[in-house]
Structure formats: structure tokens, C-alpha cells
Structure 1
Amino acid sequence: MRATRLIASFATLALGAAAANAGGYTPPVVDTGVVAPITEVAPVGNWQGGYAGLTLGYAFGGDDDVGVSGVTPDSLEMSGANGGVRLGYRWQKDRWVFGPELGYEGGNIKDSFSTDGYDAESKVKNVLALRMKTGYEVAPNTLVYGIAGVARGKIDYSVTGNGADINDTYTKTGYIVGLGAERMINDKWSVTGEYEYANFGKEKLSDGTNTTNATPKFHNIKLGVNFKF
């Protein structure tokens, strides 16, 4: 009799459990919290290393007021095409890129005038410059940078007329500042565009009797190509 009652009790429990789960098994709800969206990080270009390059530029806006012993007949406004070679090295930290660059440029940056009995001419024969370039990668494979450096220019200068006969070729140290942008084409090659301002200060020249102050300076727009080692 006792066995019969136990069997009946187990049957009742089994039927109740079956009725409670007649709609199927319902798993417990687990609160996993808010899932943060996945943000893709833009790749950083590999700028570090040595490079060599070529440039082609055009200088403009030169300004040199020619004064001979107190007389100012006119101004020399130097302009002209120029080309150069460069060699540099860059370090990179995250998106910041910086390093020195040695460049040599030559061309036809000059001007001349004849007025009030004076003939004057100035020509920048070549420029050797050590630049520091500091930039930031603003987009994948695109770098913008600032330029600051010291330059040594070789300059032909002459002023003749009204008793003056000043002819000299001299070298003068000045400075260069500017801005630039560079775009990678592939792992080795890149193209550049730059604006620079060069100023070689003041140089006093004389023929023994008459004196003049040469003050060569100019703006320069350059396009270039670099090869990364």
C-alpha cells in the first residue's frame, strides 16, 4: 500500500512539471550590459628611414632695394626656375614624423635693371641648406609638415654707373622657413609640394669708394619626388 502511494506521488509531481513546461524550455535571461561599438583605427604610414629626392621650383617675389652711397635708383625683384637634390632621414612616433634634410639647389634666380645711369644685377647661383622638417600624418599616407633651416647662398652682385663699379661674388648665411605636404605613392616613392621663404640678410659691398647693401630674399614654390631607402 505504501509503495502504491509513493508511485502515485511521483506521478503527480511528474505531471505537474510537464504541465509547467508545456510551452517548451525557457532559458534564464542574463544581463550582459551595454556592448561598446567597435571603432576602426586608421592605419599609420611607415615614414621612418632615409630618403633621397629631386625638386623643381620657381622663385618669385624677391626684393632688394639697391642703394649706392645714399642714392636708391631702383629695386631688384629676383625670380626664376631652380632645381635641386636632397638627402634626409626621418624618425616617427605614432603620427608625428621629424628629421633633418640636406639640400642643394641651383638655377636662374635673378633680376637686373638699368635706370638713372645705373646698371644693377643680382643672381643667386646656388643654395646649400640644412632643414629640419616636422610633420603630422593627417590622413593615411599623407603628411603635412613645417620647415625651418639654415642656408648658405652664393650670390653674384653688381652695380655700375655714375662712378660706381661694384662687382662681387659672395657667400652669405641666411635662413629658410616654409610649409609642405607629402603623399606616398607606394612603399618606396612619394611626391611633395612645398612653399619656402629664403632670406640671406644684408651684405655690404664696395668698390673702395662707393658702397651698397645687398639684401637678397625670395619666395619659392617647389614640387618634388622622394625615394625611401
Structure 2
Amino acid sequence: MMKKIAFATASLTIGASAAYAGGYAAPVVEPVVAPVVVEAPVGDWQGAYGGVTLGYAFKGDDRVGITDTATDSFLGDIGEAELKGANAGLRLGYRWQRGNWVFGPELGIEGGDIKGDTTGITDSGFAGEMDSKVNHMVALRFKTGYAVRPDMLVYGIAGVGSIDVDYELNGLEDSFSKSGYVVGLGVEKQINDKWSVTGEYEYANFGKEKLEFDGVTTEATPKYNNIKVGVNFRF
């Protein structure tokens, strides 16, 4: 009798274990690993700097028209002078930085061999020979840029400038100063934490200046494009 009871008890235990083994089992949930966000490095551009530039001005078209002062009648054009030539400059500026955006003012002076000349005869028979030379330009620029890489900045240029010009018509000389605007684009590459190199394109336009020479007048229209390379040192 006792053997039967023991056998029955063992059978119930095995059956219960088998039933439990084939029953509900809670799913295993893998832990969620949060992605690691790595922020792109931002270069350091803020601070004061100074630099030098070398450039070449070109395509500074200046059409020379002649007007009779006494009758105020237009005599015609003697030709078109193209201001062009090598130039060099000094600059001093300061930049602020907000994230990848970099902006600030820059004061510069440039001078060199930017000049143009033309010779011709108007339809009314006036013969003229004209020469002009830009002695120097002083400009206040504002540059706004974006650091496309920690060590590379791309920027736009907008500012005002004033030039000093020597002008000559048929041997008669005059000089004048004229203000205008300067716009352009540039790129700057850091060599290390102090030194960087730049490349820039600028367009400068100084409007019109009326000049009088021995009974005739002409309007000087100085303007030119300028390609420049430079080196900056950050203080």
C-alpha cells in the first residue's frame, strides 16, 4: 500500500513539473543602450589679429567723357581706362564667435600700383590723354563667416572705403579723395593657434567725381576688382 502511495505521489510531482515547464514564461527584454552623441569640434577664432595682404586689381573700367564747361555740352568719350595693378596692405581686426559663426570689424589700408590710362578723340574733335593712379585706400570692413571646419572659415565682406587718386588730363593734374563701398568673399585656413592664411575677392566702387581741366570737365568713376592673399597673426 505504501509503495502505491509513493508511486502516485512521484507521478503527480513529475506531472506538475512537466506542466509548469510547458506553461507561461516571461520574455527576456534586452537592455536599451542609449546612443553616444559626439559633438563636432569647433575651432577657436575669437580675438584680435593683424595681418598683411598682397593683391592684384583688375577690370576697373572708367569711361572718360568730356563736357565743354562754357556751353555745358557733351563732346563725347575719349576712351575707357582700366584701373589695374599690384597692391599691398596692412589690416587690424577683432572677431567674436558664437558656435560656428564668427564676425567682427577690420580696419585696413592698401596701396601700390593701381592705375589706368586712355587716349582718344571725341566725335566733336577733342583730343584727350588721361592717366589716373590710386595712391591708397583706407577701408573699414565687417566680416561675417562660418567655420565649415575647426580650422577653416568662409566669410563675406561688406564695408566702406575712401581712396586718394591722382588724375591727369592732357598734362593737367588734379587729385581727389572719394568714398564708396567694398564687398567681397573670403576663406581663411588656420596653420596653428596663432597663424593663418587667407584668400579674398573684393569689388570696390567709389561712384563719380567731377573734375575740371582748362575749360572742359570729366567725371572720374574709380572702381575695380581685387584678388588678395594674406597672412594673419592672432594676438
TM-score (norm 2): 0.81
The share of aligned pairs that are identical, in percent, is: 59
Query: In structure 2, what is the equivalent of residue 61 of structure 1?
Result: 59
Number of residues of Structure 1 aligned to a counterpart in Structure 2: 205
Structure 2 counterpart SS, 1:61: strand
Query: Are the equivalent residues in 2 in contact too, given 1:177–1:196 (CA < 8 A)?
Result: yes
Q: Which amino acid aligns with 1:128?
A: V
Deviations 1:104-155 (A, max 9, x none): 0000011112323311011111000000000000112100000000001001
Query: In structure 1, what is the equivalent of residue 120 of structure 2?
Result: 115
Of 194, 201, 223, 1:195 maps to 201
Query: In structure 2, what is the equivalent of residue 45 of structure 1?
Result: 43
Query: Are the equivalent residues in 2 in contact too, given 1:194–1:221 (CA < 8 A)?
Result: yes
Query: In structure 1, what is the equivalent of residue 217 of structure 2?
Result: 211
For structure 1, the 5+ residue unaligned runs are: 1-11, 21-27
Deviations 1:174-223 (A, max 9, x none): 11000000000000000000000000110000125210000010000000
Query: Are the equivalent residues in 2 in contact too, given 1:166–1:205 (CA < 8 A)?
Result: no
Equivalences for residues 1-229 of structure 1 within 5 A = 29-33=28-32, 35-69=33-67, 70=74, 71-116=76-121, 117-160=127-170, 166-207=172-213, 209-229=215-235
Query: Are the equivalent residues in 2 in contact too, given 1:130–1:149 (CA < 8 A)?
Result: yes
Q: CA deviation at 1:39?
A: 3.6
For structure 2, the 5+ residue unaligned runs are: 1-9, 19-26, 68-73, 122-126
Query: Are the equivalent residues in 1 in contact too, given 2:164–2:176 (CA < 8 A)?
Result: yes
Structure 2 counterpart SS, 1:62: strand
Q: Which amino acid aligns with 1:153?
A: I
Q: Which amino acid aligns with 1:63?
A: D
User: How far apart in 1 are the matches of 2:31 and 2:224?
Assistant: 66
Query: In structure 1, what is the equivalent of residue 71 of structure 2?
Result: none
Q: Which amino acid aligns with 2:31?
A: T
Between stretches 100-109 and 36-45, larger displacement belongs to 36-45
Q: CA deviation at 1:43?
A: 0.9
Structure 1 counterpart SS, 2:193: coil
TM-score (norm 1): 0.83
User: How far apart in 2 are the matches of 1:124 and 1:219?
Assistant: 13
Query: Are the equivalent residues in 2 in contact too, given 1:166–1:206 (CA < 8 A)?
Result: no
Query: Are the equivalent residues in 2 in contact too, given 1:47–1:92 (CA < 8 A)?
Result: yes
Query: In structure 1, what is the equivalent of residue 6 of structure 2?
Result: none
User: How far apart in 2 are the matches of 1:36 and 1:135?
Assistant: 35
Query: Are the equivalent residues in 2 in contact too, given 1:204–1:211 (CA < 8 A)?
Result: yes
